[in-house]
């Protein structure tokens, strides 16, 4: 078998619940639904560090955030070993990256020279922007910024299609396409997609409090518009692979870097340990090896950290010894899962929307609307940002803060995580068992679970009053 091409496509802040194939009737994703019917669909794909730069650092290095150093946004990744592009290049691959980068840490609009591209050859990239209709980037070795034509995700998809069509045919390739949407601002998708959604017709999950229901519905309508626009982009990419005759020999992945709360639990954005923040879509299609019969995987979790070794394993390429993620390629071929079915979830340093002193600013409207003082204080204590470590298994979520056990959910019985069981005597044995398992996972990683100030000092990061590393646009 020839070495497969790899097309890795990911949106920013696309939560697992926001696709038709996941059972959401409100969002239109027909191309992804078709892809899911032909793919391995990991039901419990997880962003172990659910925020932009840290998750991307884990993807690109296969290492934990405390190894590569990106446990907060807008700092430079420092991989302790080859990157995903380095490893694929060593296996004879051409490498390409198009779209959002967000691991350079030298300013969000600055040119990124070749020696800071982690081994990617073809380059059409900007560090970070969320101005999707006026979106600059840098190409090849030029330090002159260019602007994508129109809605950037469509133009970036055009560029990815051109790369596939114009590739060096005898050489396999790794192409990573990173879109900025559906990340906020939610209401900036092209008009034809926004016209498909009416906030008054959007159904809300039961974990959205009444106090923020209107705001959540409004934002979900815009968020879903982005999702449908990107779904059309996926359809065009799949058609291109078919037209080029390489679909069977291409590993096609659709996923995200993390999710988005959008009103669930009264919160917005990410970093949080709840499912809307940590769970992501993850479809993997590789017809030559796995066929085209879709398969739902619900007996194990998989982390962003695991994606580099899994792709290298499927390609028959060497996995660098520096990689800390788990290789699921043998499991996909019919072997045993390389884990105990649990993924570590973590916040090493709460910042911005999840800063520790006041709780999430996204929750202020919700908290301000609670008239009972005791109830408001209790909700603030539950939602306030903090350092945490936890486990997401196929059934439970268990989370410990520096103060001790914080959250325990039975996600089968309570899929919207409305009942925190952590202090209930009848669940004390389960909590202790999960806490012991978490301790074992942390020991394996060498994670001492220190206050965030210790990690900031270790890596030399200065933060502002919001806990954020200052950056230039």
Q: Identify the pLDDT of residue 356.
A: 63
Are 318 and 367 in the same domain? no
* Mean pLDDT, range 206-226, rounded to an integer: 95
Are 288 and 417 in the same domain? no
Question: Model confidence over 31-84: pLDDT tens digits?
Answer: 999 999 999 999 999 999 999 999 999 999 999 999 999 999 999 999 999 999
Residue 56 CA, distance from chain mean position: 8
Strand order in the sheet with 396-401: 343-347, 388-392, 396-401, 404-410
Does any domain span residue 471?
no
Whole-angstrom Cα distance, residue 176 to residue 311?
A: 12
Q: Identify the pLDDT of residue 50.
A: 98
Are 291 and 381 in the same domain? no
Orientation of helix 213-243 relative to helix 152-165, angle to 10°: 20
Last residue of a domain, one of 321, 343, 365: 343
Are 115 and 222 in the same domain? yes
Assign 360 a pLDDT band (cuts: 50, 70, 90): low
Of residues 373 and 462, more confidence is placed in: 462
Q: Is the pLDDT of residue 1 over 90?
A: no
Q: Is the pLDDT of residue 221 over 60?
A: yes
Q: In this structure, what CATH number is given to the domain that contains residue 50?
A: 3.40.720.10
Are 47 and 84 in the same domain? yes
* Mean pLDDT, range 251-258, rounded to an integer: 98
- Residue 353 neighbours by CB distance under 10 Å: 21
Are 357 and 316 in the same domain? no
Does any domain span residue 135?
yes
pTM reported for the whole predicted model:
0.96
Domain ranges, residue 381? 345-459
Percent of the chain with pLDDT over 90: 90
Are 304 and 350 in the same domain? no
94-100 vs 173-182, strand pairing mode: parallel
Are 273 and 422 in the same domain? no
Does any domain span residue 98?
yes
Last residue of a domain, one of 294, 324, 343: 343
Does any domain span residue 472?
no
Does any domain span residue 39?
yes
Are 48 and 189 in the same domain? yes
Are 14 and 106 in the same domain? yes
Q: Is the pLDDT of residue 357 over 60?
A: no
Q: Is the pLDDT of residue 359 over 80?
A: no
Are 297 and 415 in the same domain? no
Question: Model confidence over 380-418: pLDDT tens digits?
Answer: 888 888 999 999 999 999 999 999 999 999 999 999 999
Q: Is 233 helix (H, G, I), strand (E, B) or coil?
A: helix
* Buried b or exposed e, range 171-192, using 16+ CB within 10 angstroms: ebbbbbbbbbbbbbebebbbee
Does any domain span residue 195?
yes
Q: Is the pLDDT of residue 433 over 70?
A: yes
Assign 366 a pLDDT band (cuts: 50, 70, 90): confident
Does any domain span residue 90?
yes
Does any domain span residue 318?
yes
Report residue 150 as tokens.
Answer: 């129109």
Please give the positions annotated as active site: 52, 102
Are 318 and 393 in the same domain? no
Last residue of a domain, one of 327, 343, 359: 343
**Could you give the number of structural domains in the chain?**
2
Is the peptide bond preceding residue 182 cis, with omega within 30 degrees of 0? yes
Q: Identify the pLDDT of residue 23.
A: 96
Whole-angstrom Cα distance, residue 145 to residue 163?
A: 20
94-100 vs 295-297, strand pairing mode: unpaired
Q: In this structure, what CATH number is given to the domain that contains residue 374?
A: 3.30.1120.10
Decide: 151 and 229 in contact? Cβ < 8 Å: yes
Q: Identify the pLDDT of residue 377.
A: 84
């Amino acid at each position: 078998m020839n070495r497969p091409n790899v097309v890795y496509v990911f949106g920013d802040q696309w939560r697992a619940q926001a696709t038709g194939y996941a059972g959401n009737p409100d969002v239109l994703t027909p191309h992804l639904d078709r892809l899911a019917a032909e793919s391995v669909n990991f039901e419990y794909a997880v962003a172990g560090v659910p925020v932009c730069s840290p998750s991307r650092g884990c993807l690109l290095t296969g290492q934990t955030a405390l190894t590569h150093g990106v446990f907060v946004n807008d700092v430079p990744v420092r991989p302790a070993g080859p990157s995903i592009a380095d490893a694929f290049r060593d296996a004879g691959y051409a490498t390409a990256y198009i779209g959002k980068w967000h691991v350079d840490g030298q300013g969000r609009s600055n040119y990124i020279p070749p020696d800071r591209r982690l081994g990617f050859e073809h380059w059409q990239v900007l560090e970070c922007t969320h101005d999707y209709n006026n979106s600059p980037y840098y190409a090849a070795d030029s330090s002159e910024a260019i602007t994508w034509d129109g809605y950037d995700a469509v133009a970036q998809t055009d560029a990815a299609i051109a790369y596939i069509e114009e590739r060096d045919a005898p050489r396999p390739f790794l192409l990573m396409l990173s879109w900025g949407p559906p990340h906020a601002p939610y209401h900036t998708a092209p008009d034809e997609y926004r016209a498909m959604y009416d906030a008054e017709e959007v159904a809300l999950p039961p974990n959205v409090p009444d106090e923020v229901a209107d705001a959540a519905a409004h934002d979900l309508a815009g968020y879903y518009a982005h999702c449908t626009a990107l779904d059309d982009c996926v359809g065009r990419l799949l058609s291109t692979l078919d037209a080029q005759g390489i679909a069977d020999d291409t590993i096609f992945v659709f996923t995200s870097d993390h999710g988005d709360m959008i009103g669930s639990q009264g919160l917005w954005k990410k970093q949080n340990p709840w499912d809307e923040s940590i769970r992501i879509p993850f479809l993997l299609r590789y017809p030559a090896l796995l066929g085209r019969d879709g398969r739902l995987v619900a007996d194990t979790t998989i982390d962003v950290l695991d994606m580099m070794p899994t792709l290298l394993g499927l390609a028959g390429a060497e996995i660098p010894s520096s990689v800390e993620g788990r290789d699921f390629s043998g499991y996909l071929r019919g072997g045993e899962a390389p884990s105990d079915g649990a993924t570590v979830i973590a916040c090493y340093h709460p910042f911005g929307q999840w800063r520790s002193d006041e709780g999430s600013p996204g929750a202020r409207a919700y908290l301000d609307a609670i008239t009972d003082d005791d109830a408001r204080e209790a909700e603030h204590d539950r939602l306030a940002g903090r350092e945490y470590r936890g486990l997401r298994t196929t059934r439970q979520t268990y989370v410990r803060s520096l103060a001790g056990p914080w959250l325990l959910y039975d996600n089968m019985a309570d899929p919207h995580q409305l009942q925190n069981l952590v202090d209930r005597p009848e669940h004390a044995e389960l909590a202790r068992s999960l806490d012991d398992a978490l301790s074992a996972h942390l020991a394996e990683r060498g994670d001492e679970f220190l206050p965030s100030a210790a990690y900031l000092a270790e890596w030399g990061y200065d933060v502002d009053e919001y806990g954020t590393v200052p950056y230039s646009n």
